[in-house]
Amino acid sequence: MIRALTLLALLAVPAAAYETAASSCDLQYRLLECGFNGDACPSTCSTSSNGECTLPTADLAKWTADYAASWLTATSVMLECAAITTASSCTGNCAMGTSDAGVATCYATYAKISSLMTADGAPAALVEGYWQNQISDQWFLCSALRTETTCNANTACNWSGSSCGSSTAMTFVRYQNACPSTDYASLVTSASGGTLTLAGMYATVAESDSSITPAEGVSLSGARGIARSALALAASAAALAALA
């Protein structure tokens, strides 16, 4: 999805003011919501050139612009850390993690990246939602688990294909905590056909990291926060598994 953007493409995006916190939370929610529809992409979403159900063009452009701007804010420290090839030198604003290919890599820490992005005005949906999920859960946790057994033994992670990535539960929890007033509880319930709950996802994630709890203002029962239009989510259970 958005992760496929290349650095070259990001550098071509002009600097711009970020979306408001509320708008960013709404865009991220709807991006996830559209993705759950799979082949049943509703009129409120749009089908991309590669067949993915995603945000309408104008809304996706807003989300992509914010993503690109936040990335550019942290590019310098990211490149600085990436240039380090020895663990002994990967210190300070950097720490050793693991790439998606399973290679030990020096990355910028979430603490450093989040401080830069927040100071630049990046909204919480991106910083505490998307980027924390990518950095803390992927680079510094799941990518290092190289077998299906070790990956699935960690409730924050999930094995898919031939690699270990952040679990659906962890993704939802990060996004919900970043946007406490957004009703992810109802999305989880409807998208899974009632087989999963947001409360259950928090409990699952807590098995891996007990420090992760619902942020103040989060409703585990749903039916509150930003009102949502009813989307056709008949194929969403399969989409949940595919996203994990």
Q: What confidence tens digit (pLDDT) does each residue in 61-73 have?
A: 999 999 999 999 9
pLDDT band at 228 (very low <50, low <70, confident <90, very high): very low
Average pLDDT over residues 20-45: 88
Q: Would residue 3 count as lying in a domain?
A: no
pLDDT at position 244 over 50: no
Residue 12: inside a domain, yes or no? no
- With respect to residue 134, please indicate whether it lies within any of the assigned structural domains: yes
Measured distance between the N- and C-terminal CA atoms of the chain, rounded to whole angstroms: 13
Give the DSSP H or E segment for 28: helix 21-35
Asked, for residue 232, whether it belongs to a domain, the answer is: yes
Range of the domain at 105: 20-243
- What confidence category does residue 13 fall into, taking pLDDT thresholds of 50, 70 and 90? very low
Q: Residue 225 pLDDT > 50, yes or no?
A: no
Which pLDDT score is estimated for 2? 34
Quick check: is 7 in a domain? no
Is a pLDDT exceeding 70 seen at residue 160? yes
Q: Per-residue pLDDT tens for 170-207?
A: 999 999 999 999 999 988 987 787 888 999 999 999 99
Phi-psi region at 109: left, alpha or beta (left = phi > 0; alpha = psi -120 to 50): beta
Structural domain tally of the chain?
Answer: 1
pLDDT of residue 38: 62
Range with lowest mean pLDDT among 105-119, 153-167, 180-194, 227-241: 227-241
Mean pLDDT of 112-139: 96
Give the up-direction half-sphere exposure of residue 209: CA atoms within 13 A in the CB hemisphere.
14
| Nearest residue to 173 (alpha-carbon basis) of 139, 135, 137 | 137
Predicted confidence band of residue 40 (pLDDT cuts 50, 70, 90): confident
The verdict on residue 36 lying in a domain is yes
Contacts of 240 by beta carbon, 8 Å cutoff, 6+ apart = 36, 168, 191, 192, 196
Does residue 11 lie in a domain region?
Answer: no
In a domain, residue 8? The reply is no
DSSP 54: E
Computed over every residue of the chain, the mean pLDDT equals 84
